[in-house]
Amino acid sequence: MRVATNTFPETLVQQVQLLSMRQTRLQTQVATGQRIQNPEDDPAAMQRILGLHVETASLRQYRSNLAKLEERIHVAFDALKSLKILLDRAGELATLADGTRSPRELRTYATEVTQLVQQAVQVLNQKHRDTYLFGGTRTDQPPFALTLDANGRVTSVVYRGNMDTAAVPIDTQVTLTVDIPGANTSGTGPLGLTADNRSGVDLLRDLIALQDSLLAGDTQAIAQTVRPALLRDEAHLLTHISNQSALIARIQSAVSLTDRRLQALDQAVSREADADLAETLVRLNQVQAAYQAALQSGATILRLSLLDFLR
């Protein structure tokens, strides 16, 4: 069979180019640690990697949502504990205000209760990341408005938020609500924090009633009406504290689960995309040896010149 004189040079050039490309690709894998640089390197693996990246991006967003919820619920939980301390002190003053106290002592107690009401409103009007905590979904204005008379006595506290709460996605088709509306008199929906007509509680109204009864010296009203109302308010507040504690535990569990899933996805991507350094170095040495051999053999065979044909 006759072989054309240009067949070998053309074949040699093709083989040398192919070996050079393989050598470059393997050198890049060693330098970057990545087995796949372009989709054509491994189309099936690239498709799997892209799917893993999409899932990872979703999980990272859920993880970010959980971090924000965890941060927000801890701030709200601290506010609830502050309210509990205020309410405990109001209960102590209501207990102290018996028939043995002088009008002057009762007025002193009333002054302290007035401060407790103002402090409670300050706690309830807290902001976190420039949004109010207890206004429902109306987070751009203070949820509670306090009114004082000319003597500095609290006459009313009005709730200006709404009864809605935002649901935040924490996983596929799973949302979580951690906010508490400051009050809910609608009879449906989430429990209001300071007031809820389903349980007949109204913390701020009862504190103002304690203030007014102390100023009036009406210890009987305090014993028969105000003190039992404050006990109901305390039980209601403890329900919220218990609910928030459960939510904190759930968020922490979700954070742990999401972190483990993200770690598993990172490992899956690594298995698909990362190069085995030892194996890659062996293949690189093999290709480099083949490349050098091709060049040497080609140089030996192609040493023919025009003078060789003229002899």
pLDDT the model gives residue 300: 64
CA 248 distance to own-chain centroid? 12
Nearest partner of 137 among 156, 121, 161, judged by Cα = 161
Residue 307 has what pLDDT? 46
Q: pLDDT band for position 175 (50/70/90)?
A: very high
Determine the Cα–Cα distance for residues 55 and 43; give it in Å rounded to an integer. 19
Q: What is the pLDDT of residue 91?
A: 95
- For the chain, first and last CA: distance in Å? 25
Q: Which two tokens stand for residue 263?
A: 């770690």
- Domains of the chain, first to last: 8-35+276-292 (no CATH), 80-250 (1.20.1330.10)
Strands 183-184, 195-196: pairing is parallel
**Residue of 222, 193, 225 whose CA lies nearest to 98:** 222
pLDDT digits (tens, 9 = 90+) for 10-41: 666 666 666 556 655 655 655 565 656 666 66
**Of 293 and 67, the one with more pLDDT:** 67
How far apart are alpha carbons 91 and 83 in whole angstroms?
Answer: 12
- Tell me which residue has tokens 């003053």: 93
Tell me the pLDDT tens digit for each residue of 193-235.
Answer: 999 999 899 999 999 999 999 999 999 999 999 999 999 999 9
At 184, is the secondary structure helix, strand, or coil? strand
Beta bridge partners of 309: none
Q: Is the pTM of this model over 0.85?
A: no
125: helix, strand or coil: coil
Higher per-residue pLDDT: 299 or 160? 160
Per-residue pLDDT at 276:
47
Q: What local confidence, expressed as pLDDT, does residue 291 receive?
A: 57
Mean pLDDT (whole number) for 249-275: 85
